[in-house]
Amino acid sequence: MKAKTTSFLYALVVGVLVVGCVEEKTTDEATTTLVFEVNARTKLPRMGGLEECVESGTPVDGSVWFDSTDAIIIGRLASLEAATDLLQSSGSEGEGGLKQSCVGSIDPAVDAVFEVVHAFKGSVGQTVRVRLGQGLLDAYGIIAFLDNGQLELLFSPFVVGQLYGLPLHYSTEYELWSPLLDPLFGLEMNGSSIFFMESGRCHPQPPLIASVQAIGAAQGHNTSVEEVERRRRSLYSVITAAGPKEEDLLFGWCFE
């Protein structure tokens, strides 16, 4: 008896950005073809290298990359907002720690708010607030500061309205989503090819994945717990030197 075949086409229009998905299913298998139409090739930051580092990382296995994330999405950037809910502080005695208020100058973290266009993995809702702490902004080469209480960014390639690919990790302690040091990815103009941001020496490297179709294909493979955990640990540090702690990747600074 022949298997029944159904097909459907849907389109989601967001501003000038359109995402279309054609899915064909049979009783034996299901395949999904995703094609994203964008008005410009995604602009990504570059992960700067470390001067004291002499080792260049190697690309991570695609399945290990997929399994080490809590969510992978493509989202449209809706806004960039200052985040000063918690701040790192050296304190007057240099004791460190986090604080909720600051009487000195502030270098804020940034909340990048994305409208979720497609989720390959994870449940983040229709919009997700992605935290970029000062340690991460520094790795991106972006300067964030407050001018009369308003967020100002220098050397930022992020464009409101553009589509971005985000491997995300969830901090259960602080209840925040962040890419940490996982490289972001962008979309080519053909709508199906992707490219990862350049990752500097000693930082975690991206997988050898070149299409949105290959992201979904990366799941379901046998990966070792050790490999996945090693990848997760690398997102808080660098290969040969002590790197930023989680708080530095999630929060801004208070200078008193």
Report the pLDDT value the prediction gives residue 242, as an integer from 0 to 100: 54
**pLDDT of 139 above 50:** yes
CA 22 from centre of chain:
26
Give CA torsion, residues 193, 198, 199, 200, to 10 deg. 160
CA atoms within 13 A on the CB side of 50: 18
Least confident of 31-35, 115-119, 149-153, 240-244: 240-244
In terms of average pLDDT, the best of 93-102, 214-223, 237-246 is: 214-223
pTM attached to this predicted model: 0.83
Phi-psi region of 240 (alpha: psi -120 to 50; beta: other; left: phi over 0): alpha
Q: Convert 21-50 to b/e letters by CB count within 10 Å (16 or more is b).
A: eeeeeeeeeeeeebebbbeeebebbebebb
* pLDDT score recorded for residue 146: 95
What are the tens digits of pLDDT across the range 2-32?
333 333 233 333 333 344 443 333 333 344 5
The 10s digit of each residue's pLDDT in 38-77 is 788 999 998 875 555 656 678 899 999 999 999 999 999 9
Mean pLDDT in residue range 156-173: 96
Query: Is the model more confident about 13 or about 241?
Result: 241
Assign 3-state DSSP to the chain and report helix, strand, coil percentages, each to 5: 15, 40, 45
- Sequence ranges of the domains in the chain: 41-255
Backbone angles phi, psi at 128, to 5 degrees: -140, 140
Check if the beta carbon of residue 186 is closer than 8 Å to that of residue 44. Answer: yes
Q: Residue 161 CA to chain centroid, in angstroms?
A: 16
203/224 Cα distance (integer angstroms): 21
| pLDDT 10s digits, 180-212 | 999 999 999 999 999 999 887 778 899 999 999
